[in-house]
Amino acid sequence: MFLTLLNVIYFLIKILIIVVPVLIAVAYFTLAERKIMGSIQRRKGPNVIGFLGLLQPLADGLKLLVKETIIPSNSNLVLFFLAPILAFSLSLLNWAVIPFSENCVLSDLNVGILYILSISSLNVYSIILAGWASNSKYSFLGAIRSASQMISYEVSIGFILLTVVFCSNSYNLSNIILSQEKSWFIFPLFPMFLIFCVSMLAETNRHPFDLPEAEAELVSGYNVEYSAMTFALFFLGEYGNMLFMSTLLTVLFFGGWLPTPLFSDSCFGLQNNNLLSAFFFSFKILFGVFLFIIARAALPRYRYDQLMDLGWKCFLPISISYLIFTASILISFNWI
């Protein structure tokens, strides 16, 4: 009994070691976005609260915490509050299978890719619940558009993940990273990398595919009726998903914690060095984060018909064709 209790406490501590840095990273992701966009647009970002504005995310969080939560009349109260909790929880569950170094992973599942696909598909439910439970035609229209967009691009992402699985011959994320020891997958799978970069923008409802939150015609989309901490949970969930997609990009195409293929592990002392591995991993994640920010600052918004045509008529045929091509090459040379 005592050993079981110790195991539970140890497991909870491991969860907190992952969740707390993720939440801090999400908070300062917002600050980095505002700072970089300010520089691109030749203006100053947040610079008042704290040194160089470093306390701005904490101030924003405190503001949302003390605000009053307004509940729409005739809304479904249970589902109205369940939707943001579900969105925030699902954004954290994905991190359970991410290997930060060779021996640093919460749950090293053999079917980690399938776990990620299942959790990402559940994100649609939180958006649909938010739109329907708000009892508002604007939020419901935004939820429908968001759900159809996410489902459309999940199909292409699924075929991209299958291509990576074929190349690594494993669904385990640690094995996928270790299979890139000689060459990152970005080189043989460069077309898949480009499609994944665009699809992760659409999957997270980010610019230039932020049609569900297009203020001009939808009044902020599915979360229009939310305020205070319920809105903050959606906000944290969205930025948490963006950070996770950047991490998944690193795992699939940039070799995770591994250094560049030009150098061996021994040059960097990476064997049994979790700290150095985590540094490489974090540095690569910044590429995906920067991609999200640059896309928002530089690109115009797509029309909805252009968005759906891009997903179904362009990305889907290309991803299926490249999957078949990759499988043919691997089978021809008896590599799988």
Same structural domain, 25 and 104? no
pLDDT tops 80 at residue 202: yes
User: In angstroms, rounded to a whole number, what is the distance separating the alpha carbons of residues 206 and 112?
Assistant: 25
Least confident of 103-107, 193-197, 254-258, 313-317: 103-107
Same structural domain, 9 and 80? no
What's the pTM value of the predicted model, to 2 decimals?
A: 0.89
Number of domains in the chain: 2
User: In angstroms, rounded to a whole number, what is the distance separating the alpha carbons of residues 111 and 158?
Assistant: 14
Q: Of 66, 84, 102, which one is at a domain's C-terminal end?
A: 66
Q: Which two tokens stand for residue 56?
A: 């701005």
| Cis peptide, bond prior to residue 21, ω within 30 of zero | no
Q: What is the pLDDT of residues 232-253, one digit of tens each?
A: 898 888 899 999 999 999 999 9
Q: Of 9, 38, 66, which one is at a domain's C-terminal end?
A: 66
| Confidence grade of residue 324 (pLDDT, cut at 50, 70, 90) | very high
Same structural domain, 46 and 182? no
User: In angstroms, rounded to a whole number, what is the distance separating the alpha carbons of residues 311 and 158?
Assistant: 13
- Strand, helix or coil for residue 189: coil
What pLDDT is stored for residue 1 in this prediction? 64
Between the alpha carbon of residue 336 and those of residues 56, 173, 293, the distances in Å are 51, 18, 38
pLDDT tops 80 at residue 219: no
Q: Which two tokens stand for residue 174?
A: 């640690």
Same structural domain, 79 and 57? no
Q: What is the pLDDT of residues 74-116, one digit of tens each?
A: 888 889 999 999 999 998 888 888 888 777 788 888 888 999 9
Same structural domain, 144 and 277? yes
Residues 6+ apart with CB under 8 A from 242: 29, 204, 206, 289, 292
Same structural domain, 180 and 260? yes
User: In angstroms, rounded to a whole number, what is the distance separating the alpha carbons of residues 253 and 177?
Assistant: 9
Same structural domain, 30 and 107? no
Same structural domain, 263 and 290? yes
Same structural domain, 143 and 14? no
Same structural domain, 32 and 162? no
Same structural domain, 191 and 275? yes
Between the alpha carbon of residue 211 and those of residues 99, 109, 201, 208, 250, the distances in Å are 33, 35, 11, 8, 26
| Confidence grade of residue 215 (pLDDT, cut at 50, 70, 90) | low
Same structural domain, 121 and 243? yes
Can you give the residue range of the structural domain that contains 285? 68-332
User: In angstroms, rounded to a whole number, what is the distance separating the alpha carbons of residues 248 and 81?
Assistant: 29
Mean pLDDT of 17-40: 88
Q: Of 66, 86, 107, which one is at a domain's C-terminal end?
A: 66
Which ranges constitute the DSSP H helices of the chain? Answer: 2-40, 56-66, 77-93, 112-133, 137-168, 173-178, 190-203, 215-218, 228-253, 265-268, 274-298, 304-309, 316-332
User: In angstroms, rounded to a whole number, what is the distance separating the alpha carbons of residues 34 and 46?
Assistant: 7
